[in-house]
Structure 1
Amino acid sequence: MAISKKRLALAFAALAGAAQGAAAQTAEHVAAVKSVMDKSLVRAGTCAPVSEDFDGWPAALVQRCDYPQGVAYVLDVKPETMAKWIETGCAAHMSGVAACFDRMVKCAAEKSSATFVIGGNLAAERKGAVTNLFFRNGVVIGAAQNGKTDAVPAAEQEKLARLPESGVEAMPGGGPVAFWHTMPHQFAVKAIDLGVPAEMNTPDRRQRWLEIIRAEMQAALKTDGNRFLSGWMTAHPITLRTGECADDRDP
């Protein structure tokens, strides 16, 4: 049966409208991610690309940020990339939950200020005060200055920021990784082949976990999904569907 010109015109108009709607929604998602990234104290300072590779991280992926509370070398994740990770995660784990995207953005802000610190101080307001918290490859590391409001000398901050993976002596909390505070065992479910350490109680295990994170994050930057987010969402289906950002033991 022949299709009238009018019907063809209506069909093309509908397709065009759908495409525009999808593009507008994506733009809103990107803007939402950019908004929370911009609110990080780290990014409120001066950030610039580094000139040399940073302990296994290509220079093109790393920015050094100097801000009033300290210094941090951060992974340069574009808002478009994080938005795509969240869109993919929501489609896979919370299909039909309209608020999923906004919840995951909110949780990234709450858990890590939507910032992946490769090395350095992620100062943030916690319990009404701005406190220091030192990271390596998105994981909090043991440092005497953690949780304190006192200013840390610039030279000491730089030393901690450049601490090699092999030099990390402790991972408080068992090594959860940004952006969503994913525990090693939660990620291991998505990457059985990688041999993720069950505990971070030896130098070799801590170094292995940091190496896995480094490789995995670099791979995620080239794909639509992020297995750290996927593992975290899989571990907390009930809590996330209530609209709350899950803590480690929440269902």
Structure 2
Amino acid sequence: MAQTPNEIDLVRKAQRSAYAITSATNGCPKVDEDVRGWPKYLIRRCEYRQGNLTGLVYLAEVPAKTVAAWISRTCARKMPEVASCFGTVLRCGQLNSGYMFPVAGNIIEDGRNFFFRNGMTVNLGDGTHASRRPIPLKLQEELAQRGDAQILSIPSGLTRYWRSRPHQVAVLFPDKRAPEAVNTAEQRALWLRIARDEFLSAARGRENRLLEAYVAVHRDVLARGQCPL
């Protein structure tokens, strides 16, 4: 489905809220090697400041045209009669993620350090989760490189850009065999893999099934122009 220049421009403006990029101190260069199953051409390594804290994060970069296609296609499929769908879904993504998809690393929110993996907040069990203290960049790099098996929990199970949950994907796309929850190591590993694979598939120009699951579940709220909590 073709995107209008206005839709692409709106996404481009929303992407400017990605403060890990706009406040970067290193220019957010592309990486030289793949990162945890993510192709290097898609990944930028950002060092940035928020208040008195410094963060290091690997972000997936998706062109505005592709994000506009995700939203436009999903609205056409799930909410064709709601003219405000594109604007509402766009705004919800901005409010939830600032259009940052953290592959690995630290996203500082409200003066706290939150480490991410495949778009989800994770707890690595070392006291850094939601901490307010400065963390040396060397340690942040080490945490970003830790294996998925060392993740003790995924506190919310939500993956970005939007607030997509595993059970939503499980209901709408049973072929994915997504877990209903992320309480065990096996469930966490499966959901991390699905989130990565679905995002990569969408970034190659296919439908964004994470977004479709989110819109399908929250259709009534989005139709009222509101963003689900």
TM-score normalised to structure 1 length? 0.82
Residue aligned with 1:149, SS = coil
Among candidates 49, 54, 79, match of residue 94 of structure 1: 79
Among candidates 223, 226, 229, match of residue 244 of structure 1: 226
Amino acid aligned to 1:33? V
Matches of 2:134 and 2:215 in 1, distance apart? 36
Query: Matches of residues 164-179 of structure 1 in structure 2 within 5 Å?
Result: 164-173=147-156, 175-179=157-161
Give CA deviations for 1:14-39 in whole Å, capped at 9, x if unaligned: xxxxxxxx98x721111111112112
8 Å CA contact 1:119, 1:163 repeated in 2: no
8 Å CA contact 1:88, 1:224 repeated in 2: no
Matches of 1:170 and 1:50 in 2, distance apart? 27
Give CA deviations for 1:184-236 in whole Å, capped at 9, x if unaligned: 01112232122211221221221111111111111111234200110000111
Matches of 1:130 and 1:41 in 2, distance apart? 13
Indicate whether 1:162 and 2:140 are aligned: no
RMSD after superposition: 1.8
Tell me what 1:76 maps to. 61
Higher CA-based Rg:
1
Runs of 4+ in 1 over 4 A off after TM superposition: none
Matches of 2:139 and 2:13 in 1, distance apart? 31
Matches of 1:132 and 1:161 in 2, distance apart? 13
Among candidates 4, 25, 29, match of residue 48 of structure 1: 29
Tell me what 2:45 maps to. 64
Query: Percent identity at matched positions?
Result: 32
* Count of paired positions: 220
Residue aligned with 2:104, SS = strand
Tell me what 1:14 maps to. none
Amino acid aligned to 2:86? F
RCO greater where, 1 or 2, for CA within 8 Å and sep 6 or more? 2
Amino acid aligned to 1:210? L
Tell me what 2:8 maps to. 30
Amino acid aligned to 2:43? V
Among candidates 194, 209, 226, match of residue 212 of structure 1: 194
Matches of 1:151 and 1:66 in 2, distance apart? 13
Among candidates 111, 128, 151, match of residue 134 of structure 2: 151
Residue aligned with 2:21, SS = coil
Shift of 1:159: 1.7
Shift of 1:54: 0.7
Shift of 1:116: 0.6
Indicate whether 1:140 and 2:121 are aligned: yes
Amino acid aligned to 1:179? Y
Indicate whether 1:122 and 2:100 are aligned: no
Residue aligned with 1:123, SS = strand
Residue aligned with 1:206, SS = helix
Amino acid aligned to 1:169? L
